[in-house]
Structure 1
């Protein structure tokens, strides 16, 4: 287990080649690691701990009852949620059996570890698509140029890079628009996953965090912990078996779900985390469209990576270039030493002599 968590720490290290932004990394690094870590925690508690304990007044082996109720799910009684504990009911959602009772079954806890893991995978998909589409081109072009040392050797590389950029100018729009598409995909992924979690938890996830926050402000007489409804610690289970006379006997049992203490903490955190990630992703999309419409914003963004370059030189260079070329230069600026990037801009902007092949 320690090795698994140690391997997850590697995702937080700064990438040697930066082809995205902080908002993007929140998806495929931070959120991915959080979800995988939660999945491992639930898995260890579920398969190596004691996730359920059921008791019955009848002579049913406890191990058999635990296994049966875990597989066939437990349930709560809807009209017992807000009855007075200790007077009318022993626990919220647990009441005596009646003919017209409406049961709410809790089947999610069997699947939490798997759902969290697959959620993590989907948070990495946009990054996988973008990295595959970019193909490591930026890393190949800036190799050895992220350090100001060995300037003589770097001059040759910078000249070759400038020739490459001139030869392939006006051909990078596809990179920019595919990157923008994956940023939109990041946002869509968060929203869809929130909808899936809401369905997974019986329609309770959308307002779960607000309900938990408001819980502390309710009057004591009207208090009802929203986490108990979504993640009950005590539920009911019905077990049927043949009696000594051959007839089918019904046995009611109460089940304690210690695993829900962990589940509720996980999903409270995920509610706040997912909403924060959704807001950040939306702001990033708005910013991306702003860079499409506002050329000064593009210039300022690239200039922030290399203050040594004259801003007016960048404005002059990108005046008539398509947005794809700006995006490509912006990626280079993120991954090159500022001195080397400044020299690259100077070489690129040089007017070719009549005898030059550049």
Structure 2
């Protein structure tokens, strides 16, 4: 299952990366739609709320004006059509300014969380020694030596599948599964070394003997 799980985990993480790219792309698209005023929209709103009343320049009104000049055509005293200028209230913009404040904070929160998530995945990929500790923190019913014995002989794809599995089954059942798998991986590694085919010649040992589990 080594190649299969590797393919799965990288597709899974690639989808997370695409989510980050999607959020960043939407930030730039909305910013262009609003004439370059969206990127700092939330920051300007926060700064506006902290300023004195005399110094306030509402950024929401600048982006979404509530009043505008309107032209009306009416019949005059002589029966001819006359043009009258007036000020009109735009109630939809009062809704838009609140909506886009929420969207700005929502996009920033998502982009921040996804950035940390992608960074976390890269750390997992670059530092295999963290993987058994993460599994141990999630399920202390299994000794950390069992996790170390397993992760040292398997790929990150196998580790990921078992990490996801640990969140969905009973801890005691998971302990039995991990203990048996660790023993089987160790036995397989010893047999390969004895036969002159050490593990790591072309990749790490994958999950096997799943029927026994």
For each residue in 1:151-180, what CA deviation from the matched residue of structure 2 results, as whole angstroms up to 9, or x when unmatched?
xxxxxxxxxxxxxxxxx3443111111111
Q: CA deviation at 1:236?
A: 2.0
- Which aligned pairs between 1:67-86 and structure 2 lie closer than 5 A? none
Query: Within 2, Cα distance between the matches of 1:220 and 1:350?
Result: 71
Say if 2:29 is the partner of 1:193: no
- Which aligned pairs between 1:1-358 and structure 2 lie closer than 5 A? 168-238=1-71, 250-351=83-184
For each residue in 1:229-270, what CA deviation from the matched residue of structure 2 results, as whole angstroms up to 9, or x when unmatched?
112221123356999999986443422122322222222222
Q: CA deviation at 1:304?
A: 2.6
RMSD: 2.8
Query: Within 2, Cα distance between the matches of 1:217 and 1:350?
Result: 62
Cα 1:301/1:249, change in 2 over 3 Å: farther
Which range moves more in the overlay, 260-269 or 278-287?
A: 260-269
The alignment covers a number of residue pairs equal to 188
Cα 1:252/1:331, change in 2 over 3 Å: same
Query: Within 1, Cα distance between the matches of 2:29 and 2:73?
Result: 33
Query: Within 1, Cα distance between the matches of 2:132 and 2:76?
Result: 81
Q: TM-score, normalised by structure 2?
A: 0.76
Q: Residue 305 of structure 1 contacts residue 338 of structure 1 at CA under 8 Å; is this kept in 2?
A: no
For each residue in 1:87-113, what CA deviation from the matched residue of structure 2 results, as whole angstroms up to 9, or x when unmatched?
xxxxxxxxxxxxxxxxxxxxxxxxxxx
Q: TM-score, normalised by structure 1?
A: 0.47
Q: CA deviation at 1:273?
A: 2.3
Query: Within 2, Cα distance between the matches of 1:202 and 1:294?
Result: 43
Q: Residue 147 of structure 2 contacts residue 182 of structure 2 at CA under 8 Å; is this kept in 1?
A: no
Q: Residue 41 of structure 2 contacts residue 104 of structure 2 at CA under 8 Å; is this kept in 1?
A: yes
**1:237 match: secondary structure:** strand
**2:139 match: secondary structure:** coil
